Structure 1
Amino acid sequence: MSGSRPWRALIGNPWWERPALLVLVLATALGYGWELDRNQLLNYYSAAVRSMSQSWTTFVFGAQDPSGTLTLDKLPGSFWLEALSVRAFGFHNWSVLLPHVAEAVLAVIVLHRVTRRWWGPVAGILAAAALAVTPMVGALAKAEIADMLLMLLLLLAVAAWQRSVETGRLRWLLLSGVWVGFAFHVKMVQAWAVLPALGVGYLVAAGRNPAVLWRRAGQLLLAGVTTLAVSSLWIVLVLLTPASARPYVDGSMDNSPISMVFGYNALGRFGVGDDLGMGGGLGAQIGSGTGTHWLYLLSDQVAPQVGWLYPLALAGLLLGIAWPDPAPRAAWARAGCVMWGVWLLAHVVAFSLGHVAHSFYVAALAPPVAALAATALTTMWSAYRQEGWRKWLLPLMIAVSTVWSAYLASRFPGFLPWLAPSVVVTGSLAVVVLVIGRIVSARASERSPGARPWTTHVLAAGGFLGVVTVLLAPSAWAATTVVPNPDAVSFDPAAGPRKIPAAEFDKSARRNQKTFDYLRSRRQGEKYLFAASSMIAASATAAGESVLPFGGFSGSLPAPSVDHVADLVSRRELRYVILGNILSGRKRPEPPVAGWVRLNCSQVDPKEYGGGGRTVTLPPTDSGRPISFRYDLQLYDCRPGG
């Protein structure tokens, strides 16, 4: 064993592995990065990224605007790499999205190393390929969403955890805790969902030795403290910084990072303490709906994104835990399967009981599904080449996977209509070749014991066809993310067919642009082009304009204060204010600034700037619910005398 070399696998390197991995990585990078500059950015996030790239203060606190008025409603760690990229290369679509491509490619590489260390080079390549062609991973790799960075950091945590399982050394477990702590700065409490998996797996690896078990329990406690300490760094920094010296914390009514992280972004997902109406936003409705049922992960908006390998993943979990293996690494590999299984279970429960605002959240399932599916294929292939009833498991699971993939594909008859028949043909051929090849091979071996009959090549062909079968459908769906989809919307990335007409959002964006042009033509040296709710202000901030955001993401925050806005108006640094927001679902309360504006400013005739209200109704979502949203914006001139 190579105890001092963390990236040296326990199993030897066959000649074909590195070329295969190189081809896979290059193809993945090319597919994820193709026409990157044509992919859309999410204004709310890209505005913050532009602001964060302009000063280290806005960078550290994650300010929405260059003046540092409000933070994002999430921790800034999600966007630090984006801001650094913009700082280095300038603000472009590709420079904002480039870190996500790199994160996705690195996640594929890390999963390969983690899987092959205990399950061998074939399993490593299969797991990496399965992750690379997961449709949602392809979509997130070129979207301004933080889930790819979360996935990478958690996989790095698993890699360090894997070393701690083998050696029992505390330093590796502490490093794993550090990686989870970094992941917390990306997606907050969601990062902690893997802690039960790492903890249970670490204890399982101790076996039945009480002394080892108690020692590892103590190590887990120290690792947990480390995770908590690293996770708390930004929260502590904000708490120690005077409110006057930092932006107001969005996602909280009390300017508290604790409320934002554990209330708005944690308990609020389960309908507890949802003071800001997090669950009623337009993006949430256009996303996956509520996700409060146990079949959610089998739904049309989720299963095709991460679930093509569900049957194989379940088989890999059962085989990895129950299948006796005399190899020295068997206990470690079993602990690995337990870890992946608990990871899956924790997320299944969370996604089934909590509020899932967007279907891309379930990308967290992709690593365990890919690893367990690869485990299943390699384990069953090993049994397939030996005698006994287990040799029939491989053709049986290929048949099950064929039926499942064909069923999923058939649920979208108007999209890739060739896919379901192709899966059936390929899968049927694979099963026939595997069954006949195994029978013929057994008879040939009886005639010539010890010889390598020509049927060995037939068996290999059957195995290859089986791999093609299980990866065909997800690859086809993932391929739809290579070229930007004109019907896609930036806040809900996904592969496959889109039912949301992006043209409706383009019309509203053009309407906003007309208003912005009107304001630019009347600007007379004011610092801010206008003030507006964060969602409206973001589109102008992302374009490089100086805009004062108020109300936060929900539009309801009591920040900035009325006194601050009145002072800006009196000093002629602010003239125009846009009231209103993009409304969908329940109506939220207005911030205090809105009342002051209505009392002290003059409303501009909507005909002058192309404003006014407009209701747009979109087609039903996958859950069968039509979506209506309303642009209801009013422009006010706050200069004395108009």
Structure 2
Amino acid sequence: MNGPVPATPAGPGAVPGVPAAPDAVSGGASTAPDAAPRVPDVPRAARHGGPEAGTPRWARPGLWAVLALAAFLHTWALGRNGDANDYYAAAILSGTQSWKAFFFGALDAGSFITVDKPPVALWVMGLSARIFGYGTWSMLLPQAVAGVAAVWVVHSAVRRSLAELPGHASQAAGLAAALVMTLTPITVAINRDNNPDTILVLLLVLAAWFCLEAVRGGRTRPLVVSAVLIGLAFNTKMLQAYLVVPAFALVYLALAPGTVVRRFGRLLAAGAALAASSGWWMLVVDLWPAGSRPYVGGSTDNSVRDLVIGYNGLGRIFGGSGRGSGGGGGFGGEPGAGRLFNEVLAGQISWLLPFAVLALACGLVLATRRSLTGARAALLLWGGWLVVHYAVFSFSSGTFHPYYTTAMAPAVAALTGIGGVLMWQAHRDSPAWAWALPLGVAVTGAWSFTVLRRSPDFVPWLAWAVAGMSAVAALGLVAARLGRRSRLRIAAVALLVGVIGGLAGPAAYALTPLGAAVNGTNPTAGPAGGGGPGGLRGFDGMPGGAVRGGMRDGGPDRFLSAEMIAYLKENRGGATWLVAVGGAQSASSAILSTGLPVIAMGGFTGGDPAMTVDRLRELVASGRLGYVMPGDGRRGPGGGGSSEVSTWVRAECTAVAPSEYGGAGAAEGTTGTGPSLYRCG
């Protein structure tokens, strides 16, 4: 390693000015220092993504250590999270009581209305709750397992994409990607909750794994499997699943073996599989007679099609429900190019975004010059994933929660692992590339320092430690290029310091969800006041809280007191539903505290037209519903159900005096604690 490094002749598989190098991780010497790495020298199994000959001793223990860390972050003190998000928890509990409610994803066991998402994630948690009984662990443990599985899949996909490289570079890249994924703060927070995003991410990274296999081998089957997995992801969170489709399709069309016509034909087959796996549940629900199934929550016309296009489609992009009902993007800050770097979102996902972008750009150049087809395909796929998500998440005007950004974590992790290893090799072997890695380390450290200083009371010394480590690492990498002795060791030590400095900030944020109960409606990580637990508000601007005595502490629908619920249970008789209320917040709390069906007339937002006068009259006349608490007009049309429903209830039903259930206030109109309870029939 003494003296100038001789340049290699330009040729296939070589980067001009980059000699063949010793192993990128172990530092072992190359047997042919003046020759470019030759793909035929790589074991055949490794070229096809199989186990590499001479797998380093640290590879498997390193992977198991990262997976153990992920499991710890996702499960420590998980029991304190209670029901997490009441809305989904109520649907999971209802699904354990009724297979009909299970299939449709109904909020209540009586199947009056569904939640506003398709049911695949609910099915995963619901099956566990059916087997082991409903509880925090039976509901949330599948989420934790899915989070750990996603880390393993990202590791495997990254490792296999760099199997063309000699030595242990692919193992190092996979391990780095797995560690970044594990320590992404918002991913830790959401994997301790029961929102559908955890299952969405697992399905999408599995789809990416199969797509990359299809690109390497040119076969139809893995491409079709990838499409089916995206379809399952669609039935988890609808159109958000499709954000990866442009990158997957373009990478396959551009880089897969075979003629363009054959590649296009395989894409058509995958498209048919995607349509079938996406649309089957929607087709079943929309063809099912509306009178014998629950109302589709979040829709305007009781159809999944409208839910896909409106509330969960255009509504997320343009605001409101996609039908002109107003915006709701305040959870993640104002739309714009800098949204992901604002005070709310920066600490959740942005720590390594600048490095990932630099790694993508440099990695593509290096992989192209070295004819690393697998690495180039992976960089383009994960890069396309990141770019599309960045554009949609940054500029959407609709409801945007910070935890949506967990879908970006696999791309950031994969690009960091793949691009980072390629940059390390280039830094070590080519003076022309000596700037890239030190720049990435310095930018990462500077941005981490900025994010940490936004919350100066949160581990106050950490920002300065990160700045110091990053500066030392960047200078050490530069000095290693200038030195003549032990420069590889200096560079390796500097890189290790840079990795520790770059991951210290997100690691500190990732630990915070373990110290408090999850805010189920809006889980985040980090310090209070800076986007972390307790720092953001819950649904409709109110703080999230746990279920206590049949009401959500501090929540917007806080009118079902423990006394009222006791009265309703005592006087329920043979009715199917305990009571009908305006919105899902009151209904969810009552379902969880009683285990009985409760109707949410206006769905999640309180504005769904699920309840009509005719429907209410039918339920009352049949004896399936005896008590109603009409909406008060605070949220949505009529504040839960239509104004006609509220008028009919007040005209045809009898107001229950608060004294009958221990309440206070007037018997008519609005009581001292909320809308009146009415006895119907």
Equivalent of 2:352 in 299, 309, 313: 309
DSSP-derived class of the 1:67 partner? coil
Match of 2:616 in 1: 565
Of 559-568 and 541-550, the range deviating more from structure 2? 559-568
Q: Deviations over 1:309-350 (max 9, x none)?
A: 01210111101222255655x122112211122212211221
Measure, in 2, the Cα distance between the counterparts of 1:525 and 1:372: 60
The unaligned stretches of length 5 or more in structure 1 are 445-452, 614-629
DSSP-derived class of the 1:489 partner? coil
How far has the Cα of 1:214 moved from its partner? 2.9
Please say if 1:492 is aligned against 2:527.
no
Please say if 1:63 is aligned against 2:115.
no
- Tell me, yes or no, if the aligned pair for 1:205 and 1:332 is still in contact at 8 Å: no
Q: Deviations over 1:557-606 (max 9, x none)?
A: 33344344334434554332112369469985742432221111233455
- Tell me, yes or no, if the aligned pair for 1:112 and 1:127 is still in contact at 8 Å: yes
Please give the residue correspondences for 1:63-142 in structure 2 after superposition, counting only pairs within 5 Å.
Answer: 63-119=106-162, 120-142=170-192
The unaligned stretches of length 5 or more in structure 2 are 1-42, 163-169, 529-533, 538-542, 547-551
Match of 1:633 in 2: 674
DSSP-derived class of the 2:383 partner? helix
Please say if 1:529 is aligned against 2:578.
yes
How far has the Cα of 1:278 moved from its partner? 6.7
Measure, in 2, the Cα distance between the counterparts of 1:87 and 1:105: 22
- Tell me, yes or no, if the aligned pair for 2:603 and 2:640 is still in contact at 8 Å: no
Please give the residue correspondences for 1:188-587 in structure 2 after superposition, counting only pairs within 5 Å.
Answer: 188-206=238-256, 212-271=259-318, 274=321, 285=330, 287-289=331-333, 291-324=334-367, 330-354=372-396, 355-440=398-483, 443-444=484-485, 453=486, 456-485=488-517, 489-496=519-526, 497=528, 498-499=534-535, 500=537, 501-502=543-544, 506-507=553-554, 512-520=560-568, 522-523=570-571, 525-527=573-575, 528-535=577-584, 536-543=586-593, 544-570=595-621, 572-580=623-631, 583=634
How far has the Cα of 1:275 moved from its partner? 6.9
Q: Deviations over 1:85-143 (max 9, x none)?
A: 11011111121111110111000000000011123110100000000000000001101
Measure, in 2, the Cα distance between the counterparts of 1:170 and 1:266: 30
Q: What's the TM-score, normalizing by structure 1? A: 0.87
- Tell me, yes or no, if the aligned pair for 1:611 and 1:633 is still in contact at 8 Å: no
Q: Deviations over 1:41-66 (max 9, x none)?
A: 21111111111122322211111111
Measure, in 2, the Cα distance between the counterparts of 1:611 and 1:538: 24
Measure, in 2, the Cα distance between the counterparts of 1:59 and 1:276: 29
Match of 2:65 in 1: 23
Q: Deviations over 1:282-321 (max 9, x none)?
A: xx65x224x4322212211112111100121011110122
Q: 1:612 to 1:402 in 2, by over 3 A?
A: farther
How far has the Cα of 1:389 moved from its partner? 2.7
How far has the Cα of 1:429 moved from its partner? 2.4
Return the letter of the residue paired with 2:578: L
DSSP-derived class of the 2:553 partner? helix
The Cα RMSD (Å) is: 2.9
Measure, in 1, the Cα distance between the counterparts of 2:55 and 2:481: 28
Return the letter of the residue paired with 1:252: S
Q: May I ask how many residue pairs the two structures share in their alignment?
A: 603
How far has the Cα of 1:439 moved from its partner? 3.1
Match of 2:194 in 1: 144
- Tell me, yes or no, if the aligned pair for 1:70 and 1:549 is still in contact at 8 Å: yes
How far has the Cα of 1:191 moved from its partner? 0.4
Q: Deviations over 1:188-223 (max 9, x none)?
A: 01101110010111123159xxx6233212221221
- Tell me, yes or no, if the aligned pair for 1:612 and 1:634 is still in contact at 8 Å: no
Measure, in 2, the Cα distance between the counterparts of 1:153 and 1:14: 30
Identity of aligned residues (%): 36
- Tell me, yes or no, if the aligned pair for 1:111 and 1:127 is still in contact at 8 Å: yes
Equivalent of 1:49 in 66, 71, 92: 92
Match of 1:619 in 2: none
Instruction: Determine which structure has greater relative contact order: mean sequence separation of CA pairs < 8 Å that are 6+ residues apart, divided by chain length.
Output: 1
DSSP-derived class of the 2:434 partner? helix
Measure, in 2, the Cα distance between the counterparts of 1:549 and 1:471: 44
Measure, in 1, the Cα distance between the counterparts of 2:436 and 2:523: 36
Return the letter of the residue paired with 2:382: W
Q: 1:121 to 1:195 in 2, by over 3 A?
A: same
Measure, in 2, the Cα distance between the counterparts of 1:325 and 1:573: 67
Measure, in 2, the Cα distance between the counterparts of 1:229 and 1:278: 32
- Tell me, yes or no, if the aligned pair for 1:551 and 1:559 is still in contact at 8 Å: yes
How far has the Cα of 1:145 moved from its partner? 0.9
Return the letter of the residue paired with 2:274: T
- Tell me, yes or no, if the aligned pair for 1:11 and 1:118 is still in contact at 8 Å: no
Q: 1:56 to 1:553 in 2, by over 3 A?
A: same
Q: 1:552 to 1:578 in 2, by over 3 A?
A: same
Match of 1:174 in 2: 224
How far has the Cα of 1:635 moved from its partner? 2.4
How far has the Cα of 1:531 moved from its partner? 1.4
Q: 1:380 to 1:67 in 2, by over 3 A?
A: same
Equivalent of 1:594 in 634, 639, 646: 646
DSSP-derived class of the 1:75 partner? coil
Measure, in 2, the Cα distance between the counterparts of 1:68 and 1:261: 20
Match of 1:184 in 2: 234
- Tell me, yes or no, if the aligned pair for 1:569 and 1:638 is still in contact at 8 Å: no
- Tell me, yes or no, if the aligned pair for 2:630 and 2:645 is still in contact at 8 Å: no
- Tell me, yes or no, if the aligned pair for 1:277 and 1:588 is still in contact at 8 Å: no
- Tell me, yes or no, if the aligned pair for 2:572 and 2:578 is still in contact at 8 Å: no
Q: Deviations over 1:420-451 (max 9, x none)?
A: 111012212222333334433xx22xxxxxxx
